[in-house]
Amino acid sequence: MAKNIIKKVKLRAPAGRATPAPPLGPALGQAGINIGDFVTKFNAATKDMAGDVVGVSIVVYEDRSYDFTVKTPPASGLILKVAGIEKGSGKNASTKVGKITRAQALEIAKKKMKDLNSKDDEGAIAIIAGSARSMGIEVVK
């Protein structure tokens, strides 16, 4: 028999370094999740992605049990890391702040493929290139 879902929570947390401190703790507490247990399981599941901020979707059931799925890091974070800059441009059309190559965009696309709405690598590269453009980062050959 299927469990009844009472709440769905979406959060972002540092991979491998989540703590019960805000903003994670209060959001989990309101959902009725054992915070210490979640943090331990999350850190174990994301230890190989350390250094990135990842999205997590949590489904809370009636008996206070839960399941969670870890998403890949946001494309913007991966683009900034590859470009070696701290933040994108506030005026992306006129001010370019960095460059990435098409090969680097392909590498990011392959990491993000399970979360992208694309059939093939070319479509995925186009999505990543669009994200880069909106941040003021050029994709060069």
Q: What are the extents of the domains in the chain?
A: 3-69, 73-137
pTM comes to 0.79
Report pLDDT digits (tens) over 67-108: 999 999 999 999 999 999 999 998 988 899 999 999 999 999
DSSP string of 93-105?
Answer: TT---EEEEHHHH
Phi then psi for residue 118, to 5 deg, are -145, 145
* DSSP sequence for 2-69: PPPEEEEEEEEEETT---SSTTHHHHHHHHT--HHHHHHHHHHHTGGGTTSEEEEEEEEETTS-EEEE
Q: Is 127 exposed, middle or buried (0-12, 13-18, 19+ CB in 10 A)?
A: middle
Domain 73-137 falls in which CATH fold? Arc Repressor Mutant, subunit A (1.10.10)
Query: In terms of CATH, what superfamily is 3-69?
Result: Ribosomal protein L11/L12, N-terminal domain (3.30.1550.10)
Q: Reply yes or no on whether the pLDDT at 125 is more than 80.
A: yes
Q: What is the pLDDT of residues 46-75, one digit of tens each?
A: 999 888 899 999 999 999 999 999 999 999
For 96, phi then psi, to 5°, come to: -95, 135
Say how many C-beta atoms besides its own lie within 10 A of residue 13's C-beta.
21
Gap between the Cα atoms of 13 and 47, Å rounded: 12
